[in-house]
Structure 1
Amino acid sequence: MTFFGYTIGEWAQAVSIIVVGVSAGSWLFKKIALDPLRSDIQTLSDTINRQLKLHERSLADLSQHLKTHDNELGSHSVRITRLEDHVGIKGEDNHED
């Protein structure tokens, strides 16, 4: 039995050769392009995660410093108000022009 002048055996051979060629091409593409790309993406992801953790630590430290400075500022404000009360200064309301 023939189809377009080729027997079923010849068609099976042709299809087999095409399938093997596509499989080999796919495997080569994976090894040459995709595997190195995946490796680079994983390395980049690890680097980004490390940097993110460093930035989170820096932000936490900065936040702690900001809280400390806010507390000091509040303390200074209270002390200045007490000093103004002690010497009889009413703050910015009694400036002489």
Structure 2
Amino acid sequence: MSKLKDIVRPGETISSSHLSQRPGGKGANQAVAVAKAGGAVSLFGAIGEDEASVKDNIADFGVDVQGIEITQEPTGRAIIQLTQGGENSISTTAKS
């Protein structure tokens, strides 16, 4: 995730004030939120062998990860641009 003053427009280059890389995804983020709230939750999906630690990270929050399959495809990635005002723009590479 890059924190920016504005979303990058076509042909524009903007410097980021902050860059972070975290495990996540809409399903994983929602599963962790349910677990943090005290709910029982299981997550089903697929991740690449390159990201086996992501499965452990999600499990550390109390999410049942037995339904996550490890595949030989690389794990998908998302590039998130987040403005100071909270607006975002997301570009993904869909793989596992």
Give the alignment's TM-score, normalised by structure 2.
0.17
Higher gyration radius (CA): 1
Q: Give the structure with the larger helix fraction.
A: 1
Structure in which a larger fraction of residues adopt strand: 2
Task: Report the TM-score when normalising by structure 1.
Answer: 0.17
